[in-house]
Amino acid sequence: MEIAIFLAIIVFLLYKLSTKNFGYWKKRKVPFLKPTPIFGNFYECLTFKKSIGEMLQDMYKQIPDKVFGIWVFNKPHVVIKDPELIKMVLVKDFQYFSDRTVAADEKADSISSNILFVLRNPEWKVIRKMMTPAFTSGKIKSMIPLMAEAGDEMVQYIEKRVNLPTVESKEICAKYATDVITSCAFGVQGRCFQKEDAKFRQVGKDMFEPNFTNGVRGISYFFLQELVYLLKIKFIPPNVSEYLKQIFWSTINLREKTQQKRNDVIDIILKLKQQGDIDGVKFDGDIAVAQAIQFFLAGFETTSSTMAFTLYELCLNKSIQTKLRSEIKSVLKKHDEITYEAIQSMKYLDKVVSETLRKYPVLPFLDRMCNADYKLPGTDIIIEKGTPVYIPMFGLHYDEKYWKDPQKYDPERFSDEEINKRHQYAYIPFGSGPHNCIGERFGLISTKLGLVNILNRFEVEKNADTPIPLKYSARSFVLASTIGLPMKFIDSNRRASFAA
């Protein structure tokens, strides 16, 4: 009896503790979704039943208001779904929302705490300013030859697999993305197409594979920062950061000895390192390593996922694939080779990639932390300091208010006429404002170059293994298919000769 009473008291106390803030949004007259004890509104996410993006999309559909409240455990969060208010948060009133919600323990994880994605103001602003020159059009243009090497190796790799009944396209795109990033960011060859057990490819898997460990890591960093500090959870797996750190410093030391120039990120980091103290920040040690690792992490997933999801849609929509291949061949005939200018002139390719990013944004939500009390314009709602803010990109990108038949893959949504009809902030695959994705241009160029290499030579077709419809992994904070993206690759040159 005493044990039963004791357990009842414990359960009662846990219930009261987990529900003590459940009146928060009602008191402030903010629409909200009814929470459940302990989990708040995040039960499906925290138990890996749904991905973060899908769960926020479901919430987006349930409440018609521009803004609504939710709870993660017992902590109030605000969700903003109106494009005009999103613009205020991301751009016009950025000073109130200059940090993400994620945070790393500086003492236990000095590398993760210094990558731009995690870094907070004012250090974030200084490092962002330092790294911006790495992503100018001129610098990216100079990296095209490095990307082209990876593209050539990818074509040779696919050539050996055109007769196979099924090929995993995501793995091919991941190998390509890894080789591009290792060359452009670390100044070394990843050799992912030459060695199936390439170390750099394993590093990418360890960081992004949708498994239980990475699922817990993602949930902890976005929603359970207290757990990050308590258990010393690292945003980047220790084996990943240690390996990349080792490669980084060996490359830096070699460059300093040989004075070799490669027009890559290492060149820029060396220049910053030599400048010493910049605006109170010394660009050296783990700060320097973190920027190269940030480049690897951001560029890898953006390029590999966008390429693979594009191939997936093209294998389901043959007329779009045919039109795109026709443009690619026509432009390359004029330019003789794949150049920066050739890629930029492919307007239909740009529409296709844009539509892929609408349906499959790499990070399907945006997060910001309110750092001072803020009154949402046009409302009576005050977002209090310390309140996390979420923008459900998946919800926006599939909202019928902005996209007719949103499940349909239609690149013509990105014609000039259609773009002008739509609110600018109904489409934000790379975020917007000062905290937008710094590698957007690099990611787009490397993605397009990879697709041009593939589609100039091969056709893709669906087969019995191609997942229709897609199911997303609940153990990944980036968008990922549960079973990959298998399809069949066909040599279009051989098919054309047979037809002739």
Contact 450, 149 (CB under 8 A): no
Instruction: Place 166 in a pLDDT band, splitting at 50, 70 and 90.
Output: very high
Residue 387 Ramachandran class (φ > 0 left, ψ -120 to 50 alpha, else beta) = beta
Q: Per the domain annotation, does 43 fall within a domain?
A: yes
pTM: 0.91
What CATH number does the domain containing 69 carry?
A: 1.10.630.10
Q: Per the domain annotation, does 7 fall within a domain?
A: no
Q: Per the domain annotation, does 320 fall within a domain?
A: yes
Buried b (16+ CB within 10 A) or exposed e, 387-421: bbbbbbbbbbbbbeebbeeeeebbbebbeeeeeee
Contact 303, 173 (CB under 8 A): yes
Question: In this predicted structure, what is the pLDDT of residue 267?
Answer: 85
Cα-to-chain-centroid distance, residue 451: 18
- 102-131 tens-digit pLDDT: 877 777 778 888 888 888 888 888 888 888
Q: Per the domain annotation, does 1 fall within a domain?
A: no
Contact 249, 255 (CB under 8 A): no
Q: Per the domain annotation, does 268 fall within a domain?
A: yes
Residue 299 Ramachandran class (φ > 0 left, ψ -120 to 50 alpha, else beta) = alpha
- 333-366 tens-digit pLDDT: 999 889 999 999 999 999 999 999 999 998 899 9
CB-CB neighbours of 313 under 10 Å: 19
- 356-415 tens-digit pLDDT: 999 999 889 999 999 999 999 999 999 999 999 999 999 999 999 999 999 999 999 999
Contact 428, 367 (CB under 8 A): no
Q: Give the pairing of strands 458-461 and 486-491.
A: antiparallel
- Structural domain containing residue 427: 21-499
Spatial separation of the C-alpha atoms in residues 271 and 107, rounded to whole Å: 27
Spatial separation of the C-alpha atoms in residues 256 and 273, rounded to whole Å: 11
Question: In this predicted structure, what is the pLDDT of residue 2?
Answer: 63
Tokens 């046009």 — which residue? 378
Written as one string, the DSSP assignment of 298-348 is HHHHHHHHHHHHHHHHHHH-HHHHHHHHHHHHHHHHHHSS--HHHHHT-HH
Q: In the chain, how many domains are there? A: 1
Q: Per the domain annotation, does 9 fall within a domain?
A: no
